[in-house]
């Protein structure tokens, strides 16, 4: 499958890969330098559709059966994140085609540590804008689960929504809990963000 548009970039074609690991399909759209999108789902077609929906309109792409070395590292890292394990890789995410505010929110979300959650309002206080604007960015997050939108909850520590389904969100948060007991602040672009132990959310589910 190949992408086609009126305008074509001179850069290399984006390769789209999906890989099934322990019953979950993980996917990445990337060239040899940057990640344009990532996704995961129990259904291969949903994972692929999510990837294709986020590729810039003017960039050619092809779906490949055999992963590149770079893509293989990314796919295996997605599995580790899904299992609640810490990944030390600094991923080269393709922010340039995204609006400036979207970039700011995504970069702030990356700073939410494993084992913690925050709210849309808290992110808005840290980087500007409103809670609804932050929510809109998260609803179209092209880099899940690298950019951990599953770590967003409502201000009352109820789950809120999640594109991958609430059962998946609970699974992710349960895997990430580390026994933390107190909030803390992390520095993000524009200010400081208050984050809270995932246990604050999970104990409401019992």
Q: How many domains does the chain have?
A: 2
Same domain, 107 and 176: yes
Q: Report which DSSP code applies to 63.
A: E
Same domain, 39 and 108: no
Which pLDDT belongs to residue 2? 35
| Domain span holding position 43 | 14-82
User: Could you give the residue numbers annotated as active site?
Assistant: 149
What pTM was computed for the model?
A: 0.90
Backbone angles phi, psi at 110, to 5 degrees: -60, -20
Which pLDDT belongs to residue 150? 97
Is 182 within 8 Å of 113 (Cβ atoms)? Answer: no
Which pLDDT belongs to residue 206? 67
The rounded distance, in Å, linking the Cα atoms of 104 and 23 is 33
The rounded distance, in Å, linking the Cα atoms of 115 and 192 is 18
Residue pLDDT tens, the chain, 206 long: 333 233 334 456 899 999 999 999 999 999 988 999 999 999 999 999 999 998 877 889 999 988 899 999 999 999 999 999 999 878 999 999 899 999 999 999 999 999 999 999 999 999 999 999 999 999 999 999 999 999 999 999 999 989 889 999 999 999 999 999 999 999 998 789 999 999 999 998 86
Burial of 56-77, coded b for 16+ CB within 10 Å and e otherwise, reads beebebebeeebeebbeebbeb
Q: Kindly state whether residue 182 falls inside one of the protein's structural domains.
A: yes
Q: Kindly state whether residue 155 falls inside one of the protein's structural domains.
A: yes
Indicate the residue among 29, 51, 82 that finishes a domain. 82
Indicate the residue among 82, 111, 126 that finishes a domain. 82
Structure tokens at 125: 């206080």
The rounded distance, in Å, linking the Cα atoms of 10 and 148 is 31
Q: Kindly state whether residue 5 falls inside one of the protein's structural domains.
A: no
């Amino acid at each position: 499958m190949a992408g086609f548009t009126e305008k074509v970039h001179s850069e290399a074609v984006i390769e789209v890969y999906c890989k099934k690991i322990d019953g979950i399909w993980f996917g990445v759209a990337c060239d040899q330098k940057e990640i344009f999108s990532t996704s995961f789902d129990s259904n291969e077609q949903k994972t692929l559709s999510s990837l294709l929906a986020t590729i810039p309109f003017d960039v050619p792409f092809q779906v490949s059966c055999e992963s590149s070395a770079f893509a293989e590292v990314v796919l295996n890292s997605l599995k580790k994140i899904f299992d609640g394990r810490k990944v030390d890789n600094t991923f080269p995410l393709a922010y340039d085609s995204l609006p400036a505010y979207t970039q700011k929110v995504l970069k702030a979300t990356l700073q939410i540590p494993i084992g913690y959650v925050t709210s849309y309002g808290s992110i808005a206080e840290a980087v500007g804008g409103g809670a609804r604007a932050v929510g809109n960015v998260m609803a179209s997050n092209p880099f899940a689960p690298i950019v951990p939108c599953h770590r967003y909850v409502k201000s009352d520590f109820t789950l809120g929504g999640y594109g991958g389904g609430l059962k998946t969100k609970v699974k992710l948060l349960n895997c990430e809990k580390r026994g933390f007991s107190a909030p803390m602040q992390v520095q993000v672009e524009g200010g400081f963000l208050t984050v809270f132990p995932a246990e604050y959310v999970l104990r409401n589910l019992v």
